[in-house]
Structure formats: structure tokens, C-alpha cells
């Protein structure tokens, strides 16, 4: 996890920590430093989440990357309740973006805060899984943790 004074900014998605840190430096313009004292509450929330509890990720976050368009989509995704699914089209409709379902999918793929911004809860309009940056297997596991219906791939 990476945070700034305002809140959580990034969650590790890559397999390599050096690649993750280099990616942050490239896109956000800063190099994180270690401070294990900053994440106590976040660790509690993630521990609860991964043990199957219904968790509200209500700690502050900070958008250090992303366009205003992407941030609107990410904020809309945060409104999807635990254990429920919504479609890319639903998000576009809620934001009055017309036929922007594909753009919603692209924004999901750039989400810097997976799980906190629950892009794993977003599926295709036909109910199939769609994609997931971390891989479909992880998307299925996250949905299973939440007790959500796991649609076909």
C-alpha cells in the first residue's frame, strides 16, 4: 500500500515490488518511502475483508493519478454494495455517459485501488465476468469472498 497525507493512493498489483514502485514514480511523480505505522487501520480492514466479513473501506483515499473521467467512474464503483454486481453499462448510465461502457471498462483496468474501489464487482451487461487486471481467477475469488454470484467467464 502507498499513501500520502490525504489518504491511500495505490495498492500493489504487480508481482514485483520494484516494478510497482517504479510505476508509481513514473505515473504519480513521487517515490514512496517505507512507513509501516501508516497502515494499521487499512490492515484491519483488509484482514476483515479477506476473512469474509462485510467491510466498508471508509478510510481516506487520495487520487494521485487518473483523469477526471476515470475518477468519476472510480467514485461510482465505490457505491457498488459488497457482494453485488453492476455492469459497465450501468456505471455509464448512472454517470449519464451514454454508450461509454467500453470506456468504463478501460477505467476499471487503470484502477489504482483494487478492492477498495471494487472493479471486481463490475461485469458485462450480459452478466458474464468481463476482464480483470489481476486476472479472471482473482476476480472470481474476490466475488466468492463476498458471497456474490460468480458469473461465467
DSSP per residue over 129-153, as a string? ----TT-HHHHHHHHHHTT------
Instruction: State the pLDDT at residue 4.
Output: 83
**DSSP designation for 114:** B
Summarize pLDDT for 82-103 with one digit per residue, the tens: 999 999 999 999 999 888 889 9
Q: Where does the pLDDT of residue 14 fall: very low under 50, low under 70, confident under 90, or very high at 90 and above?
A: low
Query: Number of helices and strands (H, E) in the chain?
Result: 6, 4
Mean pLDDT of the chain: 88
Is 44 a residue whose pLDDT tops 80?
A: yes
Q: Comparing 112 with 20, which gets the higher pLDDT?
A: 112
Rg (C-alpha) for the chain, rounded Å, is 15
Q: Where are the alpha helices (DSSP H) in the chain?
A: 17-28, 40-50, 68-77, 88-94, 101-109, 136-145
Summarize pLDDT for 45-89 with one digit per residue, the tens: 999 999 999 999 999 999 989 999 999 999 999 999 999 999 999
Task: Set out the domains of the chain in order of their start, with CATH numbers.
Answer: 2-50 (no CATH), 68-145 (1.10.10.10)
Please report, in angstroms and rounded to a whole number, the separation of the first and last CA atoms in the chain.
Answer: 29
- Catalytic residue chosen out of the listed positions 9, 27, 108, 119: 119
Answer yes or no: 108 catalytic: no
Amino acid at each position: 500500500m502507498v499513501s500520502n497525507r490525504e489518504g491511500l493512493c495505490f495498492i500493489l498489483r504487480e508481482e514485483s515490488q520494484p516494478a510497482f514502485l517504479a510505476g508509481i514514480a513514473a505515473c504519480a511523480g513521487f517515490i514512496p518511502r517505507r512507513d509501516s505505522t501508516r497502515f494499521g487501520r487499512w490492515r484491519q480492514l483488509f484482514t476483515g475483508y479477506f476473512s469474509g466479513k462485510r467491510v466498508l473501506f471508509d478510510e481516506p483515499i487520495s487520487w494521485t493519478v487518473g483523469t477526471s473521467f476515470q475518477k468519476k467512474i472510480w467514485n461510482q464503483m465505490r457505491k457498488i454494495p459488497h457482494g453485488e454486481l453492476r455492469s459497465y453499462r450501468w456505471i455509464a448510465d448512472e454517470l449519464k455517459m451514454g454508450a461509454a461502457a467500453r470506456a468504463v471498462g478501460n477505467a476499471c483496468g487503470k484502477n489504482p485501488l483494487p478492492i477498495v474501489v471494487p472493479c471486481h464487482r463490475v461485469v458485462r451487461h450480459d452478466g458474464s465476468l468481463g476482464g480483470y487486471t489481476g486476472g479472471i481467477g482473482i476476480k472470481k475469488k474476490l466475488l466468492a469472498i463476498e458471497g456474490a454470484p460468480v458469473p461465467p467467464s
